[in-house]
Amino acid sequence: MPLFRIPVFLFLLFSFLTARAQTLHYTITRDFSDDGKKSLLDVTVKFYPKAEDTTWFELPTQMNWSEDLVRCFRNFRVEGKGGRYTRHPRYRHIVGVISQSAEPLTLRYEVWPNFKGEAVTLQNSSSPILQKDYLHIHGRCLFLTPLHYEINDFYDVSIDWLNLPKRWTIQTSYNSGQYHQSFRAYSLDWRNSLCVAGDFRIYKGEVLGKPVYFAIRGKWVFDDQTLFDVILKTIETQRLLWNDTDIPYYSVTMIPFVRPEKPTPGIWTGDYLGLGKYNSFAVYATDGCLLDNLIYLFNHEMMHDWIGLKINPGDYDSEAAPRWFAEGFTEYLALRNCWKAGFFDREDFFKRLNKENFEEHYTNRMSEISAHDAEQCFYYDQECEHVPYRRGFILAFYFDCAIRKNSNNEYDLHDFMLNLLEYYQNSDRSVDETFDFFTETLGEFLGEDPTPFLNTHAIEGKRIPPEKFVLPDYLQMTVSTKGVPQFSIKAGADEADFLK
Ligand SMILES: [Zn+2]
């Protein structure tokens, strides 16, 4: 080895050991009056400002279906010498702190709910929920961070919760049962979190030696333990699927929600909603939801730990508009996982594949809109919202079959996904920005370049004609009178071949 390499290695080691981190300290104090007039969290964040300049903070405007979140933030003040609060001259969602030096300052603000009443619906599900018996708040609606703190850097964060009622329990994406959290995290992903406290019932379990916590409130027709067993089994099978078992902590939360009394026409109003978050996922469900649908939801949301978080799809508005990948591949692999884990059998699997995906997609008036157009109507039209899920599911199934056929059953979609995981995890890369890597790797498994196919069927959005499907020997296809391809395992073939 040439001598000049040694200082490079030493330098890398040195910079790892001494990695600088952005520090942030939060206190969160509940302020609640029983007459309902006061229902807020008083938040302080201690940070290092830009010297002799303005430090800007961006407030969230919309999260998922919840809009107008700027209204949740009130009463900004600055504590500390030489600091002064200011509003942005043009943007309502940006606030600033003017300072004379780089000495740490504290920004204080209040977080209020932006809806009246206690009913949690799809529309207010991501807004701060601050009620008499509990609170449920997304990290982005709670933790403001200075814009000059680099996004791709280490963060040393500490959080203290104050003034919560004694009988309450607490669980966050960072730990369970504790009023103090402190951790080091890379990038701002730590803010994509969820914090709950109140009359939650908390269960602790273990998966492959790592703790998993489940916080649930409300009354259900299932036992808490039935749901928790499903959660533990799902986590175990998925971590083994991805060869990714070293996950130190995981939180699952579940609260009741209701269908809105006056639903906005065209907007989806289902019986359940799940949101994959940092080290955690959040579930909302009505008391009429079915256990099978919850099981599929758990499998879908947890699959996002990999497809979505570790494999970052990137910007949904970009050219690849990768929501078809993020949601559709997740749907397909989650359904396979439900079968593998024993929650569903072969019949359940093919029913969901044939009816809920192929039939719905091939007979839907919107199924051929482009990926880009599907993004524009995603939050505003229920039919449109389904498109990337079903389209991506069908693409995932198509590639799974084609890879199996091309490799004589040596490889399948799962092997391609492991390649993606290796390339994207612990990096700043995203699928949309490195789409060439995605297509080249997929091409190696398929034995041909999939770019034209993806352009036509993923991005332009044309349905895949039945004759294009390439099947492994143990699967067969029929085509319905409406032209919908339908799949099953050949008589006499072993379903274990397809399940592996
Ligand atoms: Zn999803």
Q: From residue 83, how far is each of 12, 51, 394, 437 by CA, in Å?
A: 37, 10, 55, 47
Ligand 1 centroid–CA 388 distance in Å is: 10
Q: What long-range pairs does 478-481 form, CB within 8 A, spacing at least 24?
A: 480/359
The burial class, CB within 10 Å (0-12 / 13-18 / 19+), for 497 is middle
296 touches 341 (CB < 8 A) = no
Give the side-chain half-sphere CA count within 13 A for 433.
Answer: 10
Cα 330 to middle of ligand 1, angstroms: 7
* Annotation: CATH topology of 312-499: Neutral Protease; domain 2 (1.10.390)
pLDDT in tens, the chain (500 residues): 333 343 444 444 444 445 578 899 999 999 999 887 899 999 999 999 987 789 999 999 999 989 999 999 999 999 988 899 999 999 999 999 999 888 999 999 999 999 988 899 988 999 999 999 999 999 999 999 999 887 778 999 999 999 999 999 999 999 999 999 999 998 888 999 999 999 999 999 999 999 999 999 999 999 999 999 999 999 999 999 999 998 899 999 999 999 877 666 555 567 889 998 899 999 999 988 889 989 999 999 899 989 998 999 998 888 877 999 999 999 999 999 999 999 999 999 999 999 999 999 999 989 999 999 998 888 788 888 899 999 999 999 999 999 999 999 999 999 999 999 999 998 889 999 999 999 999 999 999 999 999 999 999 999 999 999 999 999 999 999 999 999 999 999 998 899 88
How far does residue 180's CA lie from ligand 1's centre (Å)? 30
Q: How much distance in Å is there from the Cα of 275 to the middle of ligand 1?
A: 7
Residue 8 CA, ligand 1 centroid: distance in Å: 42
How far is the centre of ligand 1, averaged over its atoms, from the C-alpha of 328 (Å)?
Answer: 8
User: What confidence score (pLDDT) does residue 4 get?
Assistant: 38
pLDDT in the model for residue 265: 58
115 sits in which H/E element: none
Task: Using the mean position of ligand 1's atoms as its centre, give its distance from the Cα of residue 329 in Å.
Answer: 9
The 3-state DSSP class for residue 44 equals strand
Ligand 1 center from residue 304 Cα (angstroms): 7
Torsion of Cα atoms, 45 then 48 then 51 then 52, to 10°:
10
Using an 8 Å Cβ cutoff, are 485 and 470 in contact? no
* CA 117 to ligand 1 center in whole angstroms: 28
DSSP code, position 69: G
Give the Å distance between the CA of 331 and the centre of ligand 1.
7
* Number of continuous H segments (helices) and E segments (strands) in the chain: 13, 20
**Distance in Å, CA 448 to ligand 1 centroid:** 29
* CB neighbour list of residue 287: distance below 8 Å, 6 or more residues apart: 218, 219, 220, 221, 256
How many angstroms does the Cα of residue 213 sit away from the middle of ligand 1? Answer: 21
pLDDT at 269: 64
pLDDT at 14: 45
Taking alpha carbons only, the member of 430, 410, 135 closest to residue 311 is 430
Distance (angstroms) between ligand 1 centre and the Cα of 299 equals 10
Can you tell me the distance from the alpha carbon of 426 to that of 417, in angstroms, rounded to the nearest whole number?
15
Q: Ligand 1 centre from 273 Cα, in Å? A: 10
pTM: predicted TM-score of the whole model, two decimal places? 0.86
Centre of ligand 1 from the C-alpha of residue 449, in Å: 28
Q: How far is CA 277 from CA 116, 125, 189, 333, 439, in A?
A: 26, 14, 9, 18, 27
